Structure 1
Amino acid sequence: MATVIDRSDHPVTGLVIPLVTALDRRGRPDPPAVRPLLAHLAAGGVTTLMLAGTNGEGPLLTPDEVRGYAAEVSAMWRELAGASARIMVGATGAGTRETLRRIECLAGLDLAAVVVLAPTYFRHTERELRAHFRDAAHHGRPVVIYNSPGYTGNPIPVSVVRRLLDEPAVIGLKDSSGDAALFGQFCALARERPGFQVAQGAERQLAEGLRLGAAGLVPGVGMLAPALCAGLFRAARDGDHAAAGALQHDVDRLAALFGIRPGASGVVVMKTALHLLGLCPPHAAAPFLPLDDTELAALRTALAPLHDLVRPAALPAARQSP
């Protein structure tokens, strides 16, 4: 049985929260509005945030919007989480040129790494995928590869990652494929190169990912229940995989919320749930639409039995309407 890697200085080790981007009613980033959520995360023991990923609606924001949001959130996060605070930012472009432009726009920010997806829309060969990530790695930042084939349409095979292990700037991989066998192979690669670590991004496979040797977890539901997800990580780190499995059951209950509106619209469900808890505005970038009355009622009903998971005593009173 693989053991959980505990390298606290590595950006993908432990619990990483893929933070939402707080927006105002006109769809513009509103960094101060995310402060209640940041306080909730800090109280739950979180130290590392990932901005402008899937939950952060990164591809729907301009590079300047991502930079501005990252700069303000970083300052707030370091105030709340202290010296252990770490920030990663996603750089997601349809192609390599846009990806590099997004990395360039982050110049001057104190970041632990940039998180780079495969290109989107067109299907690419393994040689093209390797070239894409090598170009990102040569751009002066530590790079975490993000395998999310459901969104990019370009799965990243083990063979591509293996060839990228000779790039010192490629320090890790977040896998959201949901393919446990593939994830196990990524973890095996991590054992081949010191300094390269793997994080599990598939929420229903957190405990299994840790059992296979993941260094960290990147669960969106960690925004709702950071202490739960942190506890799951600690249990697996300590070798108590039975306890981690029991906590996974509670994570699965939270992940079921996304079924209220499946697909990428899970962003809207998450933001609305956070809003009902008083933690973040519900607004999402166009063309996302708010939950309709039926969906909102379903979300309230689904949240009610999860009160103990998502509402620690320190949280403000829940709001009644988005």
Structure 2
Amino acid sequence: MTPPTTPPATGVTTAAGTPPGTSHPTRAAAPFGRALCAMVTPFTETGELDADGAQRLAERLVAEGCDGLVLSGTTGESPTTTDAEKATLVRAVREAVGDRASIVAGVGTADTRHTVELALAAEKAGADGLLVVAPYYSRPPQDAVEAHFRKIADACGLPLVVYDIPGRTGTRVEPETMIRLSEHPRIVAVKDCAYDLLGTQKVLSRSELAYYAGCDEYVLALYAIGAAGYVSTVANAAPRHLRAILDAFDSGDTAGAGHHQRRLLPLIESMMAAGLPGAVTAKAVLGALGLPAGPVRAPLRPADRHAVDGLLATYERLVAEVS
């Protein structure tokens, strides 16, 4: 399957240049669509992979505006799922969404050889792309980081998204490294969680990499300077509300886009900046709404009743504002 791309809306620019009369920045193509959700991995109450629940959740997310799903990322609890579960998840979601959405499979580990094995398994299972995090714990220097990504891209036929999240890995993919990696034909995108707006702009100006905001509070900021879209944890709970930011901006309503971004701030803050991991808060909201999620796996622990009530109240206020 060829990953879906979103045709530029009127007034939205592409890599070909800026249409007359607009001030939007040049935007690289979006190889996996614009609105991607970092989907949770549903588990049963006994802690097993819930493939049926994953299919139901994936169908809902696509129906609510997601044109791509990222599986087995941080929000998908990839450190605690087995290789077999990762492949099963890709197959199940592919069966559920068909060609209506792209599937990007998280395959990154601290071991280059293991990452290659997961990449090949994801390709066989039906993924459209790979999410590869910088190798963690070992803290390799930049030449080793570059070699890691190149080896994975060489070993597999799928396009690759570099996942830059130094707050978790301890290793940054530096802008100059990213620019060199962009020369590889299968390294096509970045999930940006580096909190380095200057560095992001440097790479955008010197490469054709498609940048996806990986931090929900940065969705509009990065989109406005030419990013391709987002990979959002908050989209598990509020997919339509996230997509509204991009749709407003693409229609030329920049003030409306800003309004949508600001309106989401309380939910973004409560899910992503209140001391609990996004996998915990996303599953708490989904569970409270009766949607497939299930428990988190240790060492993560579920949100307590007070946190769940607060998250649900914040979500309900958002929904009430747009009803």
Task: Give the shorter-chain TM-score range.
Answer: 0.7 to 0.9
**How far, CA to CA, are the matches of 1:295 and 1:225 in structure 2?**
18
Shift in CA distance, 34/84, structure 1 to aligned 2, threshold 3 Å: closer
Partners of 1:6 and 1:14 within 8 A in 2:
no
Task: Report whether the alignment pairs 1:5 with 2:21.
Answer: no
Instruction: State how 1:282-301 maps to structure 2 within 5 Å.
Output: 282-301=294-313
Distance in 2 (alpha carbons) for counterparts of 1:14 and 1:73: 19
Three-state SS of the structure 2 residue aligned to 1:88 is strand
Q: Pick the aligned partner of 1:211 from 211, 219, 224.
A: 224
Q: Which amino acid aligns with 2:114?
A: E
* Corresponding residue of 2:139: 123
CA contact (8 A) 1:103 1:114 kept: yes
CA distance in 1, matches of 2:172, 2:114: 19
Does residue 227 (structure 1) correspond to residue 247 (structure 2)? The answer is no
Match of 2:106 among 90, 94, 102: 90
- How many Å apart are 1:187 and its aligned residue? 1.9
Q: Output the amino acid matched with 2:223.
A: L
Matched residue count: 300
- How far residue 178 of structure 1 moved from its aligned partner, in angstroms, is 2.3
Q: Which amino acid aligns with 2:299?
A: P
Q: Hey, what's the Cα distance between the residues in 1 that align with 2:319 and 2:185? A: 44
Aligned to 2:18: none
C-alpha displacement of 1:4: 6.2
Q: What amino acid is aligned across from residue 172 of structure 2 in structure 1?
A: P
In 1, distance between residues paired with 2:92 and 2:55?
10
* Aligned counterparts, 1:161-310, within 5 A: 161-190=178-207, 193=208, 196-258=209-271, 261-263=274-276, 265-308=277-320
Gaps of 5+ in 2: 1-22
Confirm or deny: 8 A CA contact 1:235 1:243 kept in the other structure: yes
Q: Does the Cα contact within 8 Å between 2:264 and 2:318 map onto a contact in 1?
A: no
TM normalised by structure 2 equals: 0.86
Structure 1 segment 22-171 matched on structure 2, within 5 A? 22-78=42-98, 83-140=99-156, 141-171=158-188
Deviation at 1:46, TM superposition (A): 1.8
C-alpha distance in 1 between matches for 2:285 and 2:191 = 25
AA matched with 1:69:
L
Please say if residues 91 and 114 of structure 1, whose CA atoms lie closer than 8 Å, have aligned partners that are also in contact: yes
Mapped contact 2:167–2:194 kept (Cα < 8 A): yes
- RMSD across aligned C-alpha pairs, in angstroms? 2.1
State the distance in 2 between where 1:163 and 1:211 align: 24
- Quote the offset at 1:2 in angstroms: 4.6
Task: Verify the 8 A CA contact 2:164 2:193 in the aligned structure 1.
Answer: yes
The equivalent residue for 1:320 is none
Secondary structure of the 2:136 match is coil
8 Å contact from structure 1 (residues 52, 66) kept in 2 = yes
Give the fraction of aligned pairs with identical amino acids, expressed as a percent: 26
Instruction: Flag as ranges the 4+ runs of structure 1 deviating above 6 A.
Output: none
How many Å apart are 1:121 and its aligned residue? Answer: 0.7
- State the one-letter code of the partner of 1:175: D
Match of residue 15 from structure 1: 35
Shift in Å, 1:34: 2.8
Distance in 2 separating the partners of 1:49 and 1:238: 24
Moved more, 174-183 or 252-261: 252-261
CA distance in 2, matches of 1:239, 1:184: 22
Letter of the 2:143 counterpart: R
Q: Distance in 1 between matches of 2:258 and 2:266?
A: 13
Structure 1 pair 38–280 and aligned structure 2 pair: CA distance change class (3 A): same
- How far apart in 2 are the matches of 1:122 and 1:162? 23
